[in-house]
Structure 1
Amino acid sequence: MEKTQDNPEKNKMGFKNLLMNGGLEKKQKKKNSRILSFDSIDVFEDNFSISDTRPGTPCKLSYFPISIILILIIIIVLLPVFNHRLAFNPDLLGPIAPPPCSDTCDISLVESIPENLVYNSSVLRKSTYSAWKELLNISESRIELAGMYWTLRGKDIQYEDESAWQGEDIFKNIKSAVKEKGLELWIAQNQPNPEEPNLDTEDLEQTVGARVRSLNFTRLVGAGILHTKLWLVDRKHFYVGSANFDWRSLTQVKEVGVLVKNCPCLAEDMGKIWDVYWALGAPGASVPKSWPDSLSTQINLDTPVSVLNSHLSVSISSSPPPFCPQGRDSDIEAILRTIDSAKEFVRVAVMDYYPATLYRSHTQFWPVIDNALRKAAIERKVKVELLLSDWDHTIPSMLYYLRSLQALNGVAPGVHIRVRMFRVPSFTPAQKKVPFGRVNHNKYLVTESTGFVGTSNWSADYFISTGGIGFVFAGALRNDLEELFQRDWNSSYASDL
């Protein structure tokens, strides 16, 4: 904008109008009296002096210290009031970051590779079976578990198979750890179907005094299940991931999870999620309008905790939203923000991808994640790749949604959306007979900056009314997750949609 020169006459008239509009009117009592007008005051004139002490002089040196004193009084009076407002309205300060985690945390990815599934790759992680055994070995006082169902023993599914040995061993080690170390065993589980009771947890109640509570999601939120898969030991160590308390999750199903050891700063926060489950499993419990402050958290996407020795920043999310106390991100928030922040690629590996409800009498269209992926690919030219499961129980209608998504590949320059299907073959007749086995059960997301390992399949039900957990992280561990995706994507077990 062009700068105009000052006009002294216009300035004088403007100042006089300002005074008149402000209601400042003075009657001239003496002809020689000095009145407050621009004719007698011009701070730019040479005849004005701050040392002028004649009556009516508008600005004297003594005015300056008075002004300073007034300003100090205002500060002294208002500052406590402002601090009082902050004390009762902490949100005025914005998010408060948790202190950096100085614990000697050991954080790693773990996975289950089904029997006889061999890769032409050196990318392999510690087994889920080894991770669970480690947790039992280092336990000292208390084991807290949360899951949908329990079938660690072969006889639990009325199908005996030699590959059940790892699950059998874990079950035996749980019992021996509780007995020999005098541990407390606490279990939060989904409300069992009367026709299909959790025989494992019933046995643990009777033999080692396990404390068990069951969550009835239909009563709590109208529908859904507890789909979490969580091991929490001494509030120092934990496992979270896709593996159920099921022998098939160790030898017949492909799984991915996170093992965290010697890390109370994260384990205590994970414990708050377990505490929510335990509270809601009490007889007659209901979801409160607001959760106690003791269950709130400062660890979330806005203020992740910095795990110094592992060079990671981490936050933990949960589902469904009514189960999230103050400060806790929901899983869908975590997933959407991870997708929305991607600049180069979004890579997803899940068993089911379904932008609608699956388990309700009336199907509800729910394209929340689908829209985020399309927007990322079309508007920001982010490369989108999805790896879904092809198995005996694949939902046929899921393929229509996936084709719809992939149809946008190449719709404009730079738009890249690809879908592949991963199949775990049955190499023997016995493997083929394992019910609900031989499947890629992973539930994770990785971008160029962030990793997300969860416990939920990607259909609407899992984010609206199902219990789940997400582990969100940035740092070196993200590279490991990307390596797992690339290994599976490029393997002979993956094929184009």
Structure 2
Amino acid sequence: MKFRFLVGLMVLWSVGVQAKFVQSGMELVDTIPSGTSLSTPDLRDAVSVWCSEFDKAKSAIDIAQFYVSGEPNTTNGPLQKVIQHLREAGERGVKIRFLMDQHGLRISDKKTIEELKTIPNLTFKLIDYNKIGGGIIHAKYFVIDGGKSAYMGSQNFDWRSLKHIHETGLLVTNTTIAREMQAIFEVDWMNQSRVQQGQPPVVLNTKTVLADESQPDYLVASPNAFNPPGVGDSQSELPRLLAKAKHEVKIMVMTYAPLSYSTHRPRPYYPIIDTAIRAAAQRGVKIELMVSSWNTGKPDIDYLKSLQVLPNIQIKVVTFPQAKEGFIPYARVLHSKTMEIDHKIAWVGTSNWEGGYMDNSRNLEMVMQNGAMANRIAELHQQLWDSQYAKPLEVDKDYPTPHPGSEK
């Protein structure tokens, strides 16, 4: 089986065709930090997928992002390539809407924002999502032609996310789900206008909407109050899935803590995910949790250590070496948000596993009840887990405070 898989890849390479991993209208897409020993030859990278999708667009491209950042001192970086394909779409008459969170301005590259605004047929809007859900637009997604296809994942509209960060996403050709993503965009686009005009946002749900788990693949999102019909609540769905686990759960996420990311001190307690993980471990489920080196500050590291000492839980911290070009701020990090359960269920999302993401902020998560996709997510996890970059969390170690924006 493995031999036939390798032969198939060799044939694809020989004819210049890039391999894909597709299951039931979901294509798994990743970004591997350059210069590492990690390899995923059967997966397309985000740059290739984004450019291809923009090239296919006939009438509309709708994009939602937290921030944007182009590579300095170059005109041919990965994001510049993406923007060029977006420009070509606008030039041929495709209507483009770009929605960015206002709080992302402080970390955005102003030059790139101005470049986006020069694209023909592109409308750029800032949204203060804090006035809507109490958080931010943290989702990273786009929709093509009203829902013919869509993309969601951990990649920000940032050159580093396309070259120097471990990221995972999905190209969605399941039109039912792509249309639901379109509906989410329309809700936020509408509420942006209402907030800008001083009007209250339109609340769509006053009670928690549970996901329809009878579907093989389904989208969940947050915040629940602003999800359109057909889209379940991600905050309730994650513990529901963890409660189903019988044998194993493999998780990759940038940051994990039973606390909210609020600037208020002490940070509000957020036990929903943590309680579900502890309950799974207590009933014998083997859990592997990988977090980034940005997760080692206090008090987060203390909560991670309290998990590590429990039976059936193993935690590893991922640290990538600096790029050959030298230190790059806010890069070289694990940023994927994935989960695999019992080789049956796969989860790919945009949320970190802390409070503030699945309760107050706009995020999207995809659940795929597909064994082949679950196995491929597990393999992606295992490759990093077994690599030189992932080290077991040491309970007795005094971890340094992370400084992702500097070389300290």
Pair 1:346–1:301, CA change in 2 (3 A) = farther
Q: In 2, Cα distance between the equivalents of 1:372 and 1:105?
A: 29
SS across alignment from 1:440: coil
Equivalent in the alignment of 2:254: 351
Q: In 2, Cα distance between the equivalents of 1:394 and 1:191?
A: 28
Equivalent in the alignment of 1:426: 322
Pair 1:289–1:267, CA change in 2 (3 A) = closer
Q: In 1, Cα distance between the equivalents of 2:374 and 2:104?
A: 38
Pair 1:138–1:325, CA change in 2 (3 A) = closer
Encode CA deviations 1:269-316: one digit per residue, 9 max, x unaligned: 221111111111112353324369xxxxx9933342xxxxxxxx1110
In the alignment, structure 1 residue 490 sits paired with structure 2 residue 400: no
Q: In 1, Cα distance between the equivalents of 2:55 and 2:105?
A: 34
Q: Pick from 372, 377, 398: which aligns with 2:276?
A: 372
Q: Pick from 42, 50, 57: which aligns with 1:139?
A: 57
Equivalent in the alignment of 2:336: 442
Q: Pick from 174, 178, 202: which aligns with 1:288?
A: 202
Encode CA deviations 1:417-460: one digit per residue, 9 max, x unaligned: 110111111142x232x110110111111101211111011110
Aligned residue identity for 1:229:
K
Aligned residue identity for 2:47:
Y
Q: Pick from 158, 161, 177: which aligns with 1:266?
A: 177
User: Does 212-221 or 418-427 show the bigger shift?
Assistant: 212-221
Q: Residues 203 and 226 of structure 2 are in contact (CA less than 8 Å); yes or no, is this contact kept in structure 1?
A: no
Equivalent in the alignment of 1:215: 127
Pair 1:439–1:202, CA change in 2 (3 A) = same
Aligned residue identity for 1:167:
L
Q: In 1, Cα distance between the equivalents of 2:210 and 2:277?
A: 26
Deviation at 1:148, TM superposition (A): 0.4
Encode CA deviations 1:342-381: one digit per residue, 9 max, x unaligned: 1111111000001011223142111111111111111x21
Q: Residues 243 and 257 of structure 1 are in contact (CA less than 8 Å); yes or no, is this contact kept in structure 2?
A: yes
Q: In 1, Cα distance between the equivalents of 2:68 and 2:368?
A: 29
Equivalent in the alignment of 1:461: 356
Q: In 1, Cα distance between the equivalents of 2:226 and 2:51?
A: 30
In the alignment, structure 1 residue 278 sits paired with structure 2 residue 189: yes
Equivalent in the alignment of 1:314: 217
SS across alignment from 1:347: strand
Encode CA deviations 1:20-72: one digit per residue, 9 max, x unaligned: xxxxxxxxxxxxxxxxxxxxxxxxxxxxxxxxxxxxxxxxxxxxxxxxxxxxx
Encode CA deviations 1:157-208: one digit per residue, 9 max, x unaligned: xxx369x7111111111111210x2100011210156666654344333441
Report the number of matched residues: 361
Encode CA deviations 1:74-94: one digit per residue, 9 max, x unaligned: xxxxxxxxxxxxxxxxxxxxx
Q: Which has the larger radius of gyration?
A: 1
Q: In 1, Cα distance between the equivalents of 2:60 and 2:132?
A: 27
Deviation at 1:265, TM superposition (A): 2.2
Equivalent in the alignment of 1:154: 71
Q: In 2, Cα distance between the equivalents of 1:394 and 1:140?
A: 46
Aligned residue identity for 2:212:
L
Equivalent in the alignment of 2:212: 301
Q: Residues 232 and 267 of structure 1 are in contact (CA less than 8 Å); yes or no, is this contact kept in structure 2?
A: yes
Q: Pick from 452, 461, 472: which aligns with 2:347?
A: 452
Q: Gapped runs of 5+ residues in structure 2?
A: 1-22, 394-408
Q: Residues 253 and 441 of structure 1 are in contact (CA less than 8 Å); yes or no, is this contact kept in structure 2?
A: yes
Pair 1:138–1:376, CA change in 2 (3 A) = same
Q: In 2, Cα distance between the equivalents of 1:253 and 1:195?
A: 20
Alignment of 1:129-208 (within 5 A): 129-151=47-69, 153-155=70-72, 160=73, 165-179=77-91, 181-192=92-103, 198-208=110-120
Equivalent in the alignment of 1:310: none
Q: Percent identity?
A: 28
Q: Residues 149 and 172 of structure 2 are in contact (CA less than 8 Å); yes or no, is this contact kept in structure 1?
A: yes
User: Does 194-203 or 417-426 show the bigger shift?
Assistant: 194-203
Deviation at 1:477, TM superposition (A): 1.5
Q: In 1, Cα distance between the equivalents of 2:170 and 2:288?
A: 22
In the alignment, structure 1 residue 116 sits paired with structure 2 residue 35: yes
Equivalent in the alignment of 2:159: 247
Aligned residue identity for 1:118:
S
Equivalent in the alignment of 1:395: 297
Q: In 2, Cα distance between the equivalents of 1:459 and 1:140?
A: 38
SS across alignment from 1:464: coil
Pair 1:300–1:203, CA change in 2 (3 A) = same
Q: Pick from 257, 260, 264: which aligns with 1:361?
A: 264
Q: In 1, Cα distance between the equivalents of 2:171 and 2:210?
A: 18
Q: Residues 248 and 286 of structure 2 are in contact (CA less than 8 Å); yes or no, is this contact kept in structure 1?
A: yes
TM-score by length of 1: 0.68
TM-score by length of 2: 0.83
Pair 1:194–1:133, CA change in 2 (3 A) = closer
Aligned residue identity for 1:354:
A
Q: Residues 357 and 459 of structure 1 are in contact (CA less than 8 Å); yes or no, is this contact kept in structure 2?
A: yes
Q: In 2, Cα distance between the equivalents of 1:418 and 1:337?
A: 21
Q: Residues 261 and 354 of structure 2 are in contact (CA less than 8 Å); yes or no, is this contact kept in structure 1?
A: yes
SS across alignment from 1:318: strand
SS across alignment from 1:154: coil
